[in-house]
Chain A
Amino acid sequence: MSNIPAQLKYTRSHEWLEQRADGTVRVGITDHAQDLLGDMVYVELPEDGRVVKAGEECAVVESVKAASDVYAPISGTITAINPALAGAPEIVNSDPYGDGWLFCIQPANPAEIAQLLDATAYEAAAQDH
């Protein structure tokens, strides 16, 4: 099985979420997801300041195989997007949990975070897909 860091939260649609010291959360796609999609050729990110609802499409990752929507794991406001991905989408493949992050959200309702999957639950959910 692919790399699934224990300290992160996850969604069934293969996003990860990391809680940061400033109260925002950072979001990306999992190692498993980037492996399934293959080499990234383009990443489309939301506008800074956009208000998103949990489960709303807010980014697109496009590989040689497919273009795939990325969903906001929780509701809130986009506070940052990863500027490096415009010129180098392949960072999502090489470092999905680090430099390959997609965007940050200021949570509208931090309680939503607790409802996401932990690493064990995500590993079970991702078994087949």
Chain B
Amino acid sequence: MTADTLIYQKSHHGRRATAQAPAAVVACDIPAQFLRSPPPLMPEASEMQVVRHYTRLSQKNFSIDTHFYPLGSCTMKYNPRACNSLAMQTGFLDRHPLAPEATGQGFLACMYELQQILKTVTGMKGVSLTPMAGAQGEFAGVAMIRAYHDARGDQARREILVPDAAHGTNPATAVMCGFSVREIPTDAHGDVDLAALKEAVGPQTAGIMLTNPSTIGVFERNITEIAAIVHQAGGLLYYDGANLNAILGKVRPGDMGFDVIHLNLHKTFSTPHGGGGPGAGPVGVSERLLPFLPIPVVDRNSDGRYRWLTEQDCPQTIGRLSTFAGNAGILLRAYIYARLLGREGMQRVAEFATLNANYLMARLREAGFEPAFPKRRATHEFIITLKKQARELNVTAMDFAKRLLDYGYHAPTTYFPLLVPECFLIEPTESEDKDTLDGFVAALVAIQREAEADSARVKGAPYTLPVRRLDDVRAARELDLIWKHDNA
């Protein structure tokens, strides 16, 4: 492929594209002194140039629509086309977020039912759909923990416990909400170290943030005991929903004793994601956190009409997280996905996600790769460690990852979680067929042979992509993202 020029570099003064041109005169009531002059610097290109430019860029994507994408802890699964087309009906697309409730009953009904579905599938007592991404969901969840302790006059609880196998954003969220973080170690088989947990809890404990299954791809077997220890100490349990795909319709966080949960709809409920969103991170809560849910939430009156609940209805709410009510288009796609699957379909998601992960782990083990937790059954994802290859062949996990791109596979998550050296965190999801999984194993076996015969071949990868091995170090040390227009 050729090196790309920017659309601005293709610009010639006076060239026009009818289809993409802005309407000549748009009636507006913005006072003249606020209108800009001169007009903004826009590229001037022909219609064909514009079409080719963006089509070519789109072809450079490594995406779930073009490649197997086993990015652990990210649940890169198929986004059904039906969800897209149904969510793009004009009744949804043209609805103004400030339109009166009376004209938006259909949309509100969808949001209400999505709240109900998420409550049922997680075992929580209340759900708010408003957080606009997983990170904002986490923020809302931990803010509710803080609001709960503050409402009880229990201001001494300022520490959040985070196991080292939890999702990487958890400690960052706790700090954002004004807590200090204490890390809890993992034992040799991937469970939380209970002795260390017992020692860590106390009157300073606000709560614990857990990902279950954890980021090492195993189910936390002592979860009920962990819940008891933290609850007895007066703390609350936070569930990071990043890995809900493994247990969807099978086990419910509410039944495990969790008080608050966020869900990544763009993972488990298959809305498009990657590259920064838009996402959706609804939060679910147990009884005691219900008053603190972020608003707005949809309620159903006794006459069957739907309405938004606001500050007047929820005086203890942690407040609003966005101008309106979350990413409506993403919430709709998740709603449609959930309705298409139904209860049995959701269970099949969990069954096939775990079956695919365990099949892939077994095949890779047979092929000589080393699982990080060989005694544990995988959940929806698992870890292999390439420390032997790094030590004996000087070929690292990053080298394997880059070479996989040449074979037409997106690399798994690398070097995360940090507690396993030279690791690949592999999540195939339920979307993939056996042929694809077998092809991925064959690619890794081929790369292993290359590494043994000619390690330089692997270390020089990738060879077939628009760019070769990037200099991450220089990019991080000398970050430069500014492009200046010649005429600016």
Inter-chain contacts of B488 with A (CB < 8 A): none
Q: Is the CB of B477 within 8 A of A36?
A: no
A129 contacts which chain B residues (CB < 8 A)?
419, 421
Q: Does A66 contact B473, Cβ atoms closer than 8 Å? A: no
Residue of A41, A42, A66, A89 with most partner-chain B CB within 10 A: A41
A-B contact pairs, 18 of them (CB 8 A): A36-B421, A39-B472, A39-B473, A41-B473, A41-B476, A41-B477, A42-B476, A64-B472, A64-B473, A64-B476, A65-B415, A66-B415, A66-B418, A68-B418, A89-B477, A128-B421, A129-B419, A129-B421
Which A residues between 1 and 56 are near B, CB-CB below 8 angstroms?
A: 36, 39, 41-42
Residues of A within 8 Å of B472, CB to CB, are 39, 64
CB A126 to nearest CB in B, in angstroms, measures 11
Q: Mark B411-425, 1 if CB is under 8 A from A, else 0.
A: 000010011010000
Closest CB in chain B relative to A60 CB, distance in Å: 13
| CB-defined contacts of B473 to chain A, threshold 8 Å | 39, 41, 64
Q: Mark A92-117, 1 if CB is under 8 A from B, else 0.
A: 00000000000000000000000000
List CB contacts (< 8 Å) of B427-477 with chain A.
472-473, 476-477
Q: Count the B residues whose beta carbon is within 8 Å of the partner chain — how many?
A: 8
B416 to A, closest residue via Cβ: A66
Chain A contacts for B418, CB-based, 8 A: 66, 68
Q: A39-B473, A64-B472, A129-B421 are in contact. List 11 more A-B contacts (CB 8 A).
A: A39-B472, A41-B473, A41-B476, A41-B477, A42-B476, A64-B473, A64-B476, A65-B415, A66-B415, A89-B477, A128-B421
Chain B residues near A (Cβ < 8 Å) = 415, 418-419, 421, 472-473, 476-477
- Chain A nearest CB from B45 CB (Å) reads 37
Measured as residues with beta carbon below 8 angstroms from the partner, the interface class of chain A is: 10 to 19
Chain A interface residues (CB < 8 Å from chain B): 36, 39, 41-42, 64-66, 68, 89, 128-129
When distances are taken between beta carbons in the complex, the residues of chain B under 8 Å from A128 are: 421
Contacts of B421 in A (CB 8 A): 36, 128-129
Please report the C-alpha to C-alpha distance between residue A89 and residue B478 in the assembled complex, in whole angstroms.
Answer: 12
- A57–B107 Cα distance when bound, in Å, is 49
5 smallest beta-carbon distances between A and B, as pairs: A41-B476, A39-B473, A64-B472, A65-B415, A41-B477
Nearest B residue to A68 via CB reads B418
Shortest C-beta distance, A83 to chain B (Å), equals: 18
A125 to chain B, nearest CB (A): 14
Residues in A with CB closer than 8 Å to B476 are 41-42, 64
Q: What residue in chain A is nearest B479 (Cβ atoms)?
A: A41
How distant is A104 from chain B, measured CB to nearest CB, in Å? 26
- Chain B residue at minimum C-beta to C-beta distance from A39: B473
Please report the C-alpha to C-alpha distance between residue A39 and residue B473 in the assembled complex, in whole angstroms. Answer: 6
User: What is the distance, in angstroms, from B318's C-beta to the closest C-beta of chain A?
Assistant: 28
Among A39, A42, A64, max chain B CB count under 10 A is at: A64
Q: Which residues of A contact B419 (CB under 8 A)?
A: 129
For the complex, give the distance between the alpha carbons of A42 and B418 in Å: 18
* A42 to B472 alpha-carbon distance, docked (Å): 13
Nearest CB in chain A to that of B397: its residue: A65
Question: A69 — nearest CB in chain B belongs to which residue?
Answer: B183
CA gap between A129 and B387 in the complex, in Å:
10
Contacts of A36 in B (CB 8 A): 421
Contacts of A68 in B (CB 8 A): 418
- The CA of A89 and the CA of B476, in the complex, are separated in Å by 12
Residues of B within 8 A of A39 (CB): 472-473
Instruction: For A41, give the chain B residue with the smallest CB separation.
Output: B476
Closest Cβ of chain B to A35, distance in Å, is 10
A106 to B411, CA, bound (A): 47
The chain B residue with its CB closest to the CB of A65 is: B415
Please report the C-alpha to C-alpha distance between residue A39 and residue B419 in the assembled complex, in whole angstroms. Answer: 18
| Bound: A128/B421 CA distance, A | 8
Which residues of chain A have C-beta atoms less than 8 A from B477's C-beta? 41, 89
A86 to B69 Cα, complex, angstroms: 38
Query: A72: shortest Cβ distance to chain B, in Å?
Result: 16
**CA of A129 to CA of B477 in the docked complex: distance in angstroms?**
26
Q: Within 8 Å CB of A42, what residues of B?
A: 476
How many Å lie between the Cα of A129 and that of B423 in the bound state?
A: 12
A65 to B418, CA, bound (A): 9
User: How far does the Cβ of B216 sit from chain A's closest Cβ, in whole Å?
Assistant: 14
Q: Which residues of B are found within 8 Å of A65, using beta-carbon distances?
A: 415
For the complex formed, measure the closest distance between the CB of B170 and the CB atoms of chain A, giving whole angstroms: 14
Complex-state Cα separation, A64 to B470, whole angstroms: 12
Q: How far is the CB of A3 from chain B (nearest CB, A)?
A: 16
For residue B167, give the distance in angstroms from its CB to the closest CB of chain A. Answer: 14
> In whole angstroms, how far apart are the Cα atoms of A36 and B398 in the complex?
12
Give A3 to B472 CA distance when docked, in angstroms. 26
Looking across the interface, which residue of chain A has its beta carbon closest to that of B476?
Answer: A41
B115 CB to closest chain A CB, in angstroms? 37
User: Chain B: which residue is nearest A62 at the CB level?
Assistant: B476
User: Which of A36, A65, A68: most chain B Cβ within 10 A?
Assistant: A65
Chain B residues whose C-beta falls within 8 Å of the C-beta of A64 in the assembled complex: 472-473, 476
Write the nearest CB–CB distance from B179 to chain A, whole angstroms: 14
Q: A41 — which chain B residues lie within 8 A by C-beta?
A: 473, 476-477
Residues in chain A near residue B415, CB distance under 8 A:
65-66
